[in-house]
């Protein structure tokens, strides 16, 4: 019996023995080999495309280095969008700061500046969403979003984009907002939401057993790249987020076929509060290793 031509719900085809590919598993349960060494040792994030959806990136800043691609998005009076792929700079320093942190952790990743923050609040949510869509449609492998919107009318649009990113296997690393109330896309389950913790080690991050905010990374008094080649000290979830994005870039540099939820699983298993022994635990628990178990919240 022949299969009728034309569009049809063919989801089952993907699971046919002839077409179902073999997958590499992550060594989560096979004797405790899921370690930070496995995850990203030796990886510099080489070749991984990281979009910084922000205020632009200043490629002349010594902490940033080369920027591999640009797009500046703006909305006109009627909300029509314009896309300018010429090199641009950073109006505020914020995107440069995020890029510098990512570069510090993943020095050989490819940075793409998706500039969506301008001098206007009109169309802000639309431009932000357009930047995210550009990143999804242009082969980005990690997106850093140190910005958010609380506009409830954008809930659906950002949810759709977050799902699209998931299906394209692109982790969205999003700054949580300290203020109560909605914050998109950071509150969606599919993104990696990040808040600042007080740690100083750039590779030290924690997993939160009570989401929505899933990860904590350095964001207090962080030395960051800023305007005109300067460096300032700053505090905010905005700067915690690129720490996680940088580690994800390194992880994907070594394990490019991980899915978004595998990335989350690895990060949770390797979080400092999962890896490091509980100070109250009995002696003999090894530090710096994961016993191959998911941490119990």
Contact window for other proteins (CB under 8 A) among 8-16, 23-31, 141-149, 274-282: 141-149
Question: Taking CB under 8 A as the rule, does residue 149 contact other proteins?
Answer: yes
Given the residues 94, 146, 183, 186, the one annotated as active site: 94
Question: Taking CB under 8 A as the rule, does residue 231 contact other proteins?
Answer: yes
- Which of 69, 68, 152, 75 is CA-nearest to residue 116? 75
- Which of 134, 34, 18, 157 is CA-nearest to residue 74? 134
Neighbours of 254 (CB within 10 A): 17
Q: Residues in contact with other proteins, total (CB under 8 A)?
A: 47
What is the enclosing helix (H) or strand (E) of 38?
helix 36-40
Q: Which residue of 118, 185, 218, 242 would you call a contact of other proteins, by CB under 8 A? A: 118
- Which of 219, 218, 211 is CA-nearest to residue 189? 211
Evaluate whether 139 touches 166 at the Cβ level (below 8 Å). Answer: no
3-state secondary structure of 285: coil
Given the residues 43, 54, 61, 206, the one annotated as active site: 54
Question: Taking CB under 8 A as the rule, does residue 280 contact other proteins?
Answer: no
**β-strands 215-218, 206-207: how paired?**
antiparallel
Smallest distance from the beta carbon of 21 to other proteins, in angstroms? 41
Q: Which residue of 23, 66, 179, 296 would you call a contact of other proteins, by CB under 8 A? A: 179
Is 238 in the active site?
A: yes
Q: Which residue of 56, 93, 242, 253 would you call a contact of other proteins, by CB under 8 A? A: 93
Question: Taking CB under 8 A as the rule, does residue 273 contact other proteins?
Answer: no
User: In sequence order, which residues have a C-beta less than 8 Å from that of residue 54 and are 6 or more positions away?
Assistant: 94, 95, 98, 113, 114, 115, 116, 117, 144, 146, 147
Question: Taking CB under 8 A as the rule, does residue 254 contact other proteins?
Answer: no
Reading the block at residue 262, the tokens are: 């595998």
Q: Which residue of 226, 247, 267, 269 would you call a contact of other proteins, by CB under 8 A? A: 226
Question: Taking CB under 8 A as the rule, does residue 198 contact other proteins?
Answer: yes
Q: Which residue of 146, 193, 262, 290 would you call a contact of other proteins, by CB under 8 A? A: 146
Given the residues 193, 206, 238, 243, the one annotated as active site: 238
Q: Which residue of 55, 89, 96, 193 would you call a contact of other proteins, by CB under 8 A? A: 55
User: In sequence order, which residues have a C-beta less than 8 Å from that of residue 116 and are 6 or more positions away?
Assistant: 53, 54, 73, 127, 128, 130, 131, 147
CB nearer to other proteins: give 141 or 149: 149
Rounded to whole angstroms, what are the CA distances from 54 to 104, 115, 145, 208, 247? 18, 5, 7, 25, 19
The binding track of 2-31 with respect to other proteins, each residue x by CB under 8 A or -, is ------------------------------
Neighbours of 267 (CB within 10 A): 21
Give catalytic residue positions: 54, 94, 238
Q: Which residues bind other proteins (CB under 8 A)?
A: 54-55, 91-94, 117-122, 124, 146-154, 175, 177-183, 196, 198, 219-221, 226-228, 230-238
């Amino acid at each position: 019996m022949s299969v009728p031509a034309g569009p049809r719900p063919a989801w089952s085809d993907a699971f046919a023995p002839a077409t179902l590919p073999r997958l590499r598993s992550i060594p989560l349960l096979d004797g405790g080999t899921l370690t930070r060494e496995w995850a990203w040792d030796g990886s510099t994030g080489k070749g991984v495309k990281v979009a910084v959806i922000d205020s632009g990136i200043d490629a002349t800043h010594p902490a940033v280095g080369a920027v591999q691609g640009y797009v500046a998005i703006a909305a006109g009076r009627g909300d029509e969008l314009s896309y300018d792929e010429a090199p641009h700079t950073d109006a505020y320093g914020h995107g440069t700061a995020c890029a510098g942190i990512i570069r510090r952790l993943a020095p050989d990743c490819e940075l793409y500046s998706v500039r969506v923050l301008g001098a206007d609040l009109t169309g802000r949510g639309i431009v932000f969403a357009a930047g995210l869509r550009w990143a999804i449609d242009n082969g980005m492998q990690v997106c850093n979003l140190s910005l958010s919107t609380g506009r409830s009318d954008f809930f659906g649009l950002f949810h759709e984009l977050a799902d699209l990113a998931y299906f394209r296997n692109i982790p969205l690393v999003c700054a949580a907002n300290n203020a109560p109330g909605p914050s998109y896309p950071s509150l969606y389950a599919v993104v990696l939401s990040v808040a600042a913790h007080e740690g100083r080690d750039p590779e030290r991050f924690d997993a939160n057993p009570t989401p929505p905010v899933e990860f904590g990374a350095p964001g207090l008094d962080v030395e960051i790249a800023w305007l005109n080649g300067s460096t300032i000290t700053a505090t905010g979830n905005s700067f915690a987020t690129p720490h996680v994005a940088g580690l994800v870039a390194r992880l994907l540099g070594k394990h490019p076929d991980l899915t978004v939820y595998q990335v989350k699983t690895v990060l949770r298993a390797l979080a400092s509060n999962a890896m490091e022994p509980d100070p109250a635990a009995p002696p003999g628990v090894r530090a710096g290793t994961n016993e191959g178990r998911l941490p119990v919240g």
